C-alpha cells in the first residue's frame, strides 16, 4: 500500500487516549474544591470520570471485535431502542431531573443520558440507508429527514436544545455528503432559523441566555454570571497560565467548573500555549478521523465515520465558542474533557465505531 494511503489508525487512537488523560487531569483540578464543598471529598468527579472512561474504552474494544456494525437490522434495532430510552426518562423512579431537564435515567446509583446515545444510533442508521443509493434526490429525503428530526424533537421537549442541535448537525452533514441539492439546505435553513427563533421566544430561560450573551454585564449576578466568570478565568491567564491546580475561578466563582466550562479552567491554569496544544490535539483527532472515513472499505463506513466526526467536531467548536463568549450558553460538553459519564462513554463508543468501520472487512 502506498505511503499516502496508510490509515492513521494508531495516531487517531493515541490522540483519543491522550485527550482522555488530559480530561482526567483537569476534571480532578477543576472539580477538587467543588467536591470538597459539596461531597467532602476532592476526588468524586475524578473517580466517576475514570470509571466511565474505562468502561468506554472497554466498549470500544468490544466494538472493534464485532462483526455486526455494517448490518442494517442492527442499526434499525439500535435506533428503535434509543427512542424507547428517550421516553424512559419520564418513567417515575427511573427518570431524573437535573438543572430543569428531564434527560437522565438512573439505575443502582449510575445515571445515563439517553440522548447522548441516540446521536450515535441516528448517524449509524442514516449511514446504512444512504449507503444503499448513489445520490440522494430531493423527493427521497423525507425518510432520512424524519429519522433525524423525530428524536431531535423528543430531546427538545425534555428540554435539551444543545444535544438536539448536535444531532441535527450530524444528520444534515450526512445528507450533504450524500449529495442532496443545495436548495434543500437553503430551504431547511430558513425554516430552521424561524424554528430556533420560536423556540427561544417560547422559553424565558433561553431568552435570558441570549440577553446574557449580548450583554452579560447587564445582569452580572444572574444570567450573565457564568459567562463573565469564564472570561475572568481566561483573560488574565497569559501565555503560560497560573500553573496546574492553581485556578482561582474554581473556588466557587465559576459554577461547576468541571463540566461544560472546563476549557476556561484549562486556559486559566495552562495559558494560551496550553489551549493551543489542546486545540491542536482536537484538530489532529478530527483530521485522522476524516482520513479514516476517506479510506474506509465500505460506503456504510465512509458515511458513518464522516457523520460521527462532523457531529463531534461541531460539538468541540460549539463548546469552546460558548466558553470564550462567541455563542450563547448551550450546555454542550467538551468531548473527552468535560466531566460527564454519558458524554465520555458515548465519545469512546464513537471512537470504537470509527476504528471498526475503518477496518478491512
Q: What are phi and psi of 110, to 5 degrees?
A: -105, 135
Tell me, what's the pLDDT at 135?
55
Tell me, what's the pLDDT at 1?
34
H or E stretch at 245: none
Residue 139, burial from CB neighbour count under 10 angstroms (0-12, 13-18, 19+): exposed
Count Cα neighbours of 271 within 13 Å in the Cβ-side half-sphere. Answer: 7
- Distances in whole angstroms, Cα of residue 209 to Cα of each of 166, 215, 222, 227: 18, 10, 10, 10
> Is residue 159 reached through a cis peptide bond, with omega within 30 degrees of 0 on the bond before it?
yes
The low-confidence residues of the chain, meaning pLDDT below 70, are 1-5, 133-140, 192, 195-207, 211, 360-361
Contact 308, 354 (CB under 8 A): yes
Contact 152, 121 (CB under 8 A): no
Tell me, what's the pLDDT at 130?
87
Cell of 202: 417560547
Tell me, what's the pLDDT at 356?
94
Residue 200 C-alpha from the chain's centroid: 21
Q: How far apart are CA 313 and CA 317, in angstroms?
A: 6
Tell me, what's the pLDDT at 3?
44
DSSP letters of 133-195?
Answer: SSS--GGG-HHHHHHHHHHHHHHHHTT-HHHHHHHHHHHHHHHHHTT--HHHHHHHHHHHHHH
The β-bridge partners of 101 are 98
Q: Is residue 110 classed as helix, strand or coil in its secondary structure?
A: strand
Count Cα neighbours of 283 within 13 Å in the Cβ-side half-sphere. Answer: 6
> pTM for this one?
0.91
Contact 101, 160 (CB under 8 A): yes
Amino acid at each position: 500500500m502506498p505511503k499516502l494511503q496508510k490509515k492513521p489508525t494508531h495516531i487517531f487512537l493515541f490522540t483519543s487516549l491522550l485527550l482522555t488523560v488530559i480530561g482526567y487531569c483537569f476534571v480532578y483540578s477543576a472539580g477538587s474544591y467543588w467536591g470538597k464543598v459539596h461531597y467532602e471529598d476532592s476526588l468524586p468527579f475524578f473517580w466517576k470520570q475514570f470509571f466511565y472512561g474505562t468502561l468506554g474504552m472497554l466498549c470500544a474494544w468490544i466494538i472493534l471485535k464485532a462483526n455486526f456494525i455494517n448490518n442494517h437490522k442492527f442499526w434499525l434495532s439500535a435506533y428503535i431502542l434509543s427512542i424507547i430510552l428517550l421516553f424512559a426518562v419520564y418513567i417515575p423512579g427511573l427518570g431524573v431531573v437535573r438543572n430543569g431537564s428531564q434527560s437522565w435515567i438512573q439505575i443502582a446509583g449510575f445515571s445515563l443520558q439517553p440522548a447522548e446515545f441516540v446521536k450515535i444510533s441516528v448517524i449509524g442508521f442514516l449511514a446504512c440507508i444512504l449507503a444503499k443509493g448513489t445520490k440522494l434526490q430531493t423527493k427521497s429525503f423525507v425518510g432520512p429527514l424524519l429519522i433525524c428530526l423525530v428524536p431531535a424533537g423528543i430531546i427538545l421537549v425534555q428540554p435539551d436544545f444543545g444535544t438536539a442541535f448536535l444531532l441535527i448537525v450530524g444528520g444534515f452533514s450526512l445528507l450533504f455528503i450524500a449529495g442532496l441539492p443545495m436548495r434543500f439546505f437553503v430551504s431547511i435553513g430558513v425554516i430552521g432559523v424561524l424554528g430556533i427563533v420560536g423556540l427561544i421566544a417560547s422559553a424565558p430561560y433561553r431568552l435570558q441566555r441570549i440577553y446574557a450573551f449580548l450583554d452579560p454585564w447587564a445582569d452580572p449576578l444572574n444570567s450573565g454570571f457564568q459567562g463573565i466568570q469564564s472570561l475572568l478565568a481566561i483573560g488574565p491567564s497569559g501565555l503560560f497560565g497560573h500553573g496546574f491546580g492553581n485556578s482561582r475561578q474554581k473556588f466557587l466563582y465559576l459554577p461547576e467548573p468541571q463540566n461544560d466550562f472546563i476549557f476556561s479552567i484549562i486556559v486559566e491554569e495552562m495559558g494560551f500555549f496550553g489551549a493551543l496544544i489542546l486545540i491542536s490535539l482536537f484538530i489532529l483527532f478530527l483530521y485522522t478521523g476524516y482520513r479514516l472515513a476517506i479510506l474506509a472499505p465500505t460506503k456504510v463506513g465512509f458515511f458513518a465515520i464522516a457523520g460521527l466526526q462532523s457531529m463531534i467536531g461541531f460539538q468541540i467548536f460549539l463548546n469552546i465558542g460558548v466558553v470564550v463568549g462567541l455563542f450563547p450558553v448551550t450546555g454542550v460538553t467538551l468531548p473527552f474533557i468535560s466531566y460527564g459519564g454519558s458524554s465520555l462513554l458515548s465519545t469512546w463508543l464513537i471512537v470504537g465505531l470509527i476504528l471498526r468501520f475503518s477496518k478491512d472487512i
